[in-house]
Structure 1
């Protein structure tokens, strides 16, 4: 899953980024509000961690702006303000959750898991599992099984499979998959998605008559 972290304290922002990357997320970092709007409007994220007090556009204005545009990406607000009034103001602007500084990185990660699970996607369930026919993905343990048989995946294979399964039945272009799985600064080979899809097919579909991952010519890939 892809997360945007917007925090002007660079050390804190990078620390959060390293923690979430280690937890298996793809992460983009930005340090001011104007850049945050650019990132959010140009990239699809599964959640945004948003500081309120930012140089340029402040966090609440960013939140109002994206909600006015019907962008429902889950947003977790970070702030040094802890009064009930401040929390209510943030939630009324469209925030999904609120975390007061200082905070535990483990708590932040847990709250993000809840937000993403709540947001869900086709095939999503509240118990951390995604299913497409006989294929099951446990997002808590980052493990996959088909017909009860464990499938060993690399980190990128897992991320691509999770993205496909969260969008079950939806055709995803190569560009869309690449933008979602890698961070904003990534520059890779033009066929990297095709390579990963081939390895996923070998692991998931090769030993079975029913093929779950399908190519839609000229459009991309879909799992169903």
Structure 2
């Protein structure tokens, strides 16, 4: 999915590098070096998502984000910062950020997070009783049920939550960190291979009645459900 992105970052070299990296994924990128220029860009262009640095000249990222939300600008925002403590992350999320990444940012993971955010925003705007479809896999969050080729999948609660996140983002890689945040509400990497263990269990459930494994492993990144 090609996105129209706004990067708000005062480090010109970093902003240019990040813009080039995201452009390789097919995205169209606009760069603003401070809050004033960001507001000007937002006034003239519709953006699918914003990548916002926390520390900016004149108006810091938290203040800019709060101002955007106060003016009912609901564009998904990923806050990007060198500050990685839980307290700073909580402050960013409470100010209205949808996601939070710590520099240096891996461009593949940032792209995956952007895709997931935009897809999730589209999902929340749909009716709650709508189903998710990915190939021959159908998931109904409202009914807490899932099927493959018309056959009911016998899933435990956490397995269903993992499948729901994969289905919402079908065709887009989900990193382990993203799944940990969305399924388990973890903001840290546990000592065990928790995500990998549940993916193995989910694969067994999905292929119980035959058929090719619909979950693709993206080496070094995470997992993706075939569209």
Please report the TM-score for the alignment, with normalisation by the length of structure 1.
Answer: 0.54
1:110, CA displacement in angstroms? 0.8
> Which string of whole-angstrom CA distances, capped at 9 and with x for unpartnered residues, describes residues 102-147 of structure 1?
2211111111011111112788986689xxxxxxxx9948xxxxxx
Q: 1:114 to 1:22 in 2, by over 3 A?
A: same
> Which string of whole-angstrom CA distances, capped at 9 and with x for unpartnered residues, describes residues 74-127 of structure 1?
000001111111000000000000001122111111110111111127889866
Q: Distance in 2 between matches of 1:4 and 1:10?
A: 14
Q: Which residue of 1 aligns with 2:115?
A: 113
Describe the SS at the equivalent of 1:57.
coil
Q: Which residue of 2 aligns with 1:89?
A: 91
Q: Distance in 2 between matches of 1:41 and 1:93?
A: 21
Describe the SS at the equivalent of 1:3.
strand
Q: Which residue of 2 aligns with 1:41?
A: 43
Q: Is the 8 A contact 1:117 1:125 kept in 2?
A: no
Describe the SS at the equivalent of 1:5.
strand
Q: Distance in 2 between matches of 1:95 and 1:76?
A: 6
Q: Distance in 2 between matches of 1:5 and 1:110?
A: 16
Describe the SS at the equivalent of 2:78.
strand
Q: Distance in 2 between matches of 1:18 and 1:74?
A: 21
> Which string of whole-angstrom CA distances, capped at 9 and with x for unpartnered residues, describes residues 18-63 of structure 1?
1111111111011112111221233211000000101122111110
1:18 counterpart (17, 20, 39): 20
The residue correspondences of 1:32-181 to structure 2 (distance < 5 A) are 32-120=34-122, 140=171
Runs (4 or more) in structure 1 with deviation over 3 Å come to 121-129, 138-141
Q: Distance in 1 between matches of 2:57 and 2:51?
A: 16
Q: How many residues are aligned here?
A: 133
Q: Which residue of 2 aligns with 1:156?
A: none
Q: Is the 8 A contact 1:8 1:32 kept in 2?
A: yes
Unaligned runs of 5+ in 1: 130-137, 142-224
Q: Distance in 2 between matches of 1:100 and 1:16?
A: 14
